[in-house]
Chains A and B, each alone.
Chain A
Amino acid sequence: MDELRPVTTICYYDLGGKLHQMACKVTTVPFRGTKEQEEKLLAVIAELRDTPGALMPIMQRAQDIYGYLPIEVQTIIADQMNVPLEKIYGIATFYAQFALAPKGEYRISVCLGTACYVKGSQPVYDKISELLGIKEGECTPDGKFSLESCRCVGACGLAPVMMINDDVYGRLVPDMIPDILKKYE
């Protein structure tokens, strides 16, 4: 599990033929990007590069392609768009939806928005955390589950709610969790 936690390191990138360096947090999970993924990303960049405000949409599509945004992918975008890596890294760390480390095969996100919270989503979240032995943003050692909290998926009628990938589970109580998790094991 430790290896999935980010560590601080120095990264190098090329801007206008000059090598720059920057301290940043990266995951220690080895980057396993493929040639096809890179080609797809380059195609996306070619398609979007002239739209006003293109960086965010490019990064969103990049995350769709790779599943997360490791420093290697950020570097490709920086090089291609000819902007400092700092800028890409700054955007990637600002928005909650950009992930610097890979997520689990099944991404569990428990709603801790107000409507769910007052109906008891915190005990549900705690139960999952206890059963899987992982905390916010972490992934189980086998790469199966990752856990995160989210703020309102807008299904307040079903509160408390959680999502496992695209499946929505509503009207939860902690006792339901073991059976739900079993479905994915």
Chain B
Amino acid sequence: MHNISIQELEAIRDKMAPHINFRHEEMIGKMDDNYRIHVCVCGGTGCTSSGSETLIKVLNEELEKNGLTDQVQIVKTGCFGLCALGPIMIVHPEGSFYSRVTPEMIPEIVKEHLVGGKPVTKYLYKETVTENGTIGYDQTHFYAKQNRVALRNCGRISPEKIDEYIGTNGYFALKKVLTEMKPEDVIQVLLDSGLRGRGGAGFPTGLKWKFARAYDNDQKYVCCNADEGDPGAFMDRSVLEGDPHVVLEAMTIAGYTIGASQGYIYVRAEYPIAVKRLQIAIEQAHEYGLLGDNILGTGFKFDIGLRLGAGAFVCGEETALMTSIEGNRGEPRPRPPFPAEKGLFQKPSILNNVETWANIPQIILKGAAWFASMGTEKSKGTKVFALGGKINNTGLVEIPMGTTLREVIEEIGGGIPNGKKFKAAQTGGPSGGCIPAEHFDVPIDYDNLIAIGSMMGSGGLIVMDEDNCMVDIAKFFLQFTVDESCGKCTPCRIGTKRLLEMLERITKGQGKLEDLDKMEELCYYIKANALCGLGQTAPNPVLSTLRYFRDEYIAHVVDKRCPAGVCKDLLKFVVDKEKCVGCGLCMRNCPAGAITRTEYVAPGHKLASVEIDPDKCVKCGVCMGNCKFKAISKQ
């Protein structure tokens, strides 16, 4: 294959665009094949885990049986976002939304819908079936409120086909930059757009590029942070799995802008599908000459290498990530010098997060004003959140900055399951904090989240209900940071360990009131003195829970009680003697032999009730789970 020219790029786009548009909005142009139906099956990690590969296999077999192979095209796409309903299958042009699809459903769907033209309503996502017929997936609560910029191609194109990406105007931002713009113009557009880093800290992207451009050097580097370590955040993975070329295109634009010819993508090894799709994308970009020498015949040269992480959270920190690419223990370095001056291999470097990269080609094509029209005064554009925890619609949502938590959780997220009460939303992962119900109507943006004691982070949003203990959650995050602290600086290595020990004492009922003040003091000390972002933000989960849920801490310390019933050492299992029928099921199942029969027979029952010896009880909860009469409860 030779390097394609701009004319050839345009020809591919014009050929492919109708195919892509067929799966979206309105029909434009005419397709050059006879496919009248496109079946998009999610091939992201979530749906693959719940069996979408088998679906595609069965679907292929059924199409063959029915002689439909030249009329129906199967597209294995990236993530649709609504992972809770996976595996997901969307049938275009109507946009019929089949959820939790099993292989057994396929023959009927093929026969009724693909052959007969009638969607099988019983398998459709229930919200799309209305009294007036079925609606498309994009009209559901989950999708209607979203504004997909970074995720625009996820679920719409096949990530393993470069032509499909080109069909969405892909690589045309690169063409525009290489043929019409000077590096200074690109930086100006980014500055005007107000784009800030989506990895968490929110540093203005244009400014970062401007600094790196200003340093003269024979070699500079462009890096992509795909070491998505915050547990519960998976937007970067979804972009890489659903639209890998957007990252390659954006990095190439950055290479031109700052004057670099080499890029690196540092991706978690825990994301095998993302790694594979990136490898395919890099290979295809090479075939078309969109990476390598003389890109689009302009003489510009840029290449991208892939580096796999090996399971160290701290490597999401920029200097640690660069140290790791260099092949060392991924320990952070003091800044200054900042990476823009001395980064990877001591050369001027920039590092941006996957979601940041995914925004850039659109900003170049549609202009800074378009991007700046979305969001709040200081936070422009959209942000992807990974909704997880106690929420009905677990999945990925992309919303304009400034949307409130209430809208995200109640409207898009569909509320909390089992009629439970909302307690807190955790954002920012181990660096963030817990937001209580009183801040439900705060517009989400970088600055507001920091003001209420949390942070944007990479966009994990974990919902917690009344059954979650906030002291336990703080302990959970501290365990995480203690595990992941690299050990280079003392405040983080020892400080977080001491914090964790205090939290452990509290959850065991051995805490003292003065511990709470001591903890706060230590938190501020760590924040002020740790070397890198990991340590500086590690106390946030403790500080924010102390701020909003101090009463729960006090219940643990003073009353020796865990209000949510989570902390095992503070739990007591008790038998309601009036409800106990004396069947003895719990006695037989108790692993510790802690349950014995009493002499008391409740009115209306024939057998004597039982009691639990708190000294022998190991608090496994088996008795409570087995009791058919709900006579055992934890207190």
Contact = CB atoms under 8 A, between A and B. Distances in A.
Interface of A: 51-57, 59-60, 87, 90-91, 94-98, 112-119, 150-159, 161, 168, 170
A53 B326 contact: yes
B49 A94 contact: no
Contacts of B313: 151
29 contacts: A51-B305, A54-B327, A56-B324, A57-B327, A94-B312, A95-B309, A96-B310, A96-B312, A97-B310, A114-B232, A114-B426, A114-B429, A115-B231, A115-B386, A115-B462, A118-B473, A151-B231, A152-B233, A152-B270, A153-B45, A155-B45, A155-B234, A156-B232, A156-B386, A157-B83, A158-B49, A158-B83, A161-B49, A170-B50
B49 A56 contact: no
Contacts, number: 134
A155 B389 CA distance: 12
B231 A56 contact: no
A95 B312 contact: yes
B311 interface: yes
B390 interface: yes
A95 B468 contact: no
A168 to B, nearest CB: 4
Contacts of B326: 52-53
B270 A157 contact: no
Contacts of B269: 60, 97
Nearest to A171: B50
Interface in B382-436: 386, 388-390, 394-395, 426, 429
A94 B329 contact: yes
A113 B462 CA distance: 11
Contacts of A150: 270
B482 interface: no
B310 A60 contact: yes
A174 B46 CA distance: 21
Nearest to B323: A53
Contacts of A57: 307-308, 327
A95 B311 CA distance: 5
Contacts of B254: none
Contacts of B229: 151-152
Given A118-B389, A157-B395, A158-B50, A152 B311 contact: no
Nearest to A123: B621
A38 B38 CA distance: 49
B308 A156 contact: no
A152 B46 contact: no
A61 to B, nearest CB: 10
B86 interface: yes
Nearest to B462: A114
B329 A91 contact: yes
B622 to A, nearest CB: 10
Contact of A157 (B46, B231, B309, B462): B46
B155 to A, nearest CB: 14
B146 to A, nearest CB: 16
A153 B228 CA distance: 10
Contact of A119 (B46, B49, B390): B390
Interface string B214-234: 000000000000001111111
B388 A159 contact: yes
A55 B310 CA distance: 12
Query: Taking each of B50, B86, B230, B310, which has the highest tally of chain A beta carbons within 10 Å of its own beta carbon?
Result: B310
Give me the 7 closest cross-chain CB pairs, A-B, nearest first.
A157-B83, A113-B231, A115-B388, A96-B311, A95-B310, A53-B327, A55-B327
Contacts of B486: 94
Contacts of A114: 231-232, 388-389, 426, 429, 460, 462, 476-477
B330 interface: yes
Nearest to B393: A157
A87 to B, nearest CB: 8
B211 interface: no
B84 interface: yes
A54 B324 CA distance: 10
Nearest to A119: B389
Contacts of A97: 269, 310-311
A52 B309 CA distance: 15
B34 interface: no
A118 B462 contact: yes
Interface string B278-302: 0000000000000000000000000
Given A153-B270, A155-B45, A118 B325 contact: no
Contacts of A151: 229, 231, 313, 480
Nearest to B345: A52
Contacts of B271: 154
Contacts of A95: 309-312, 330
Contacts of B331: 94
Contacts of A53: 307, 325-327, 345
Contacts of B253: none
A47 to B, nearest CB: 14
Contacts of A159: 388-389, 394
A168 B394 CA distance: 17
Interface string B461-484: 010100010000100110010000
B132 interface: no
B328 interface: yes
B350 to A, nearest CB: 17
Nearest to A159: B388
B237 interface: yes
A154 B468 contact: no
A34 to B, nearest CB: 24
Contacts of B426: 114
A151 B345 CA distance: 29
Contacts of A60: 269, 308, 310
A155 B46 CA distance: 5
Given A56-B327, A60-B269, A94-B486, A156 B234 contact: yes
Contacts of B477: 114
- Interface centre among A59, A115, A161, by most B CB within 10 Å? A115
A170 B307 CA distance: 29
B49 A170 contact: yes
B45 A154 contact: yes
Interface in B319-378: 324-331, 345
A156 B394 contact: yes
Contacts of A98: 310
A97 B271 CA distance: 13
Nearest to A113: B231
A98, A153, A161: most-surrounded residue (chain B CB, <10 A): A153
A35 to B, nearest CB: 27
Interface in B447-463: 460, 462
B145 to A, nearest CB: 19
Contacts of B86: 157-158
A113 B229 CA distance: 10
A156 B385 CA distance: 12
A96 B213 CA distance: 36
A30 B476 CA distance: 37
Nearest to B391: A115
B307 A155 contact: no
Contacts of A54: 327
